[in-house]
Amino acid sequence: MRNIKCLGIFLLLFFPLDFSLNAQSKSSVESFFWDDEKVISKADSYFPSAISNGKNTLVFFEEVDKSKKEIKISCVKKENGKNWGAPFTVSQKIAYSSEEIPDVYSVASTHKTTAVSVLDLDAPNGIVSVYSSSDGGNTFEKFTFPELPKQVT
């Protein structure tokens, strides 16, 4: 019984501390800036992926046409922490056959280049298409792999 009373006193003593910590953390959270919601695509969109260099942000996503079973990779850009631009298409349409919508792309970036690799059975190499940008994500060009005598897997 004594242990329960001690636990009760302990909790009562530290409960006000918990509330004061929450009040302090709330004021620090309010100092962050959060964007308002914005619809960037009317299509069904899946698998968002964002990259940022601290100045500009690129958000990639799959736009899916379920009736045609096609996916295209799109992107929207925010420059200098200001406004979001209009979304644009990065890849050509990619067919899929499963009932579930597959996650078919990956994004990587260095200081100079952003690359989007896409699983694409219609690609010349039968495996992957790569789209790259060297202008901060304003335009993307399809990379053409050199012909190889044997398929590399």
User: What percent of the chain stands above pLDDT 90?
Assistant: 39
The predicted model gives 119-146 an average pLDDT of 86
Q: Specify the pTM.
A: 0.71
The predicted-structure confidence for 31-86, as pLDDT tens digits, reads as follows: 445 666 777 788 889 999 999 888 889 999 999 999 999 999 999 999 887 888 99
Name the band, by pLDDT with cuts 50, 70 and 90, for residue 107: very high
One DSSP character per residue, the chain reads -HHHHHHHHHHHHHHHHHHHHHHHHHHHHTTS--PPP----SSEEEEEEEEE-SS-EEEEEEEEETTTTEEEEEEEEE-TTS-B---EE-S--EE--SSSPP--EEEEE-SS-EEEEEE-TTSTTSSEEEEEESSSSS--EEEPPPP-SS---
